[in-house]
């Protein structure tokens, strides 16, 4: 007999494409929301890098699934702590993104980080020979 809890925690490969597509539709709202709240989101670089990694055709489907679920949580207006509450509003979003990056963060490549900096209007980091 199949355990429904196992299916939630570890979805079958058959359900993975549907979940990825459902979360991909939610994730299209990440960039506008991110740019709207950029001054209030200290994890904007990580969020944008995750966004570009999730959209990358070279990213494995399971990694996309994790990232798109986390990005989907960011854009859902009814989350655990409403985003309009100053200082606390994005803490649950940050926790979800941090957890996702802890699981699949090695798949975020320098090209995703560069794209994130461009989206956010941030300069490239300077490499220094002396430091």
Residue 2 lies in a domain: no
More confident residue, 34 or 82: 34
Cβ 75 vs Cβ 35: under 8 Å: no
pTM: predicted TM-score of the whole model, two decimal places:
0.68
Q: Encoding tokens for residue 106? A: 């090695």
pLDDT per position as a tens digit, 40-96: 788 889 999 999 999 999 999 999 999 998 988 888 766 656 655 656 677 888 888
Residue 54 lies in a domain: yes
Cβ 46 vs Cβ 74: under 8 Å: no
Q: From CA 47, how far away is CA 106, in angstroms rounded?
A: 14
Cβ 60 vs Cβ 104: under 8 Å: no
Residue 7 lies in a domain: no
Q: From CA 11, how far away is CA 49, in angstroms rounded?
A: 25
**According to the per-residue pLDDT averaged within each range, which of 24-33, 36-45, 69-78, 93-102 is highest?**
93-102
Residue 79 lies in a domain: yes
Residue 108 lies in a domain: yes
Residue 104 lies in a domain: yes
Residue 81 lies in a domain: yes
Across 111-125, average pLDDT: 89
Q: Work out how many domains the chain is built from and give that number.
A: 1
Residue 38 lies in a domain: yes
Residue 48 is part of which domain span? 15-120
């Amino acid at each position: 007999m199949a355990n429904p809890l196992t299916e939630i925690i570890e979805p079958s490969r058959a359900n993975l494409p549907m979940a990825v597509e459902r979360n991909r539709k939610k994730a299209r709202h990440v960039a506008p929301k991110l740019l709207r709240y950029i001054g209030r989101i200290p994890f904007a670089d990580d969020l944008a890098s995750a966004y570009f990694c999730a959209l990358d055709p070279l990213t494995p489907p399971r990694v996309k699934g994790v990232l798109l679920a986390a990005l989907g949580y960011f854009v859902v207006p009814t989350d655990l702590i409403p985003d309009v509450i100053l200082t606390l509003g994005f803490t649950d979003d940050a926790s979800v993104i941090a957890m996702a990056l802890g699981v699949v963060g090695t798949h975020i490549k320098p090209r995703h980080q560069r794209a994130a900096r461009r989206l956010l209007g941030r300069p490239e980091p300077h490499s220094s020979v002396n430091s």
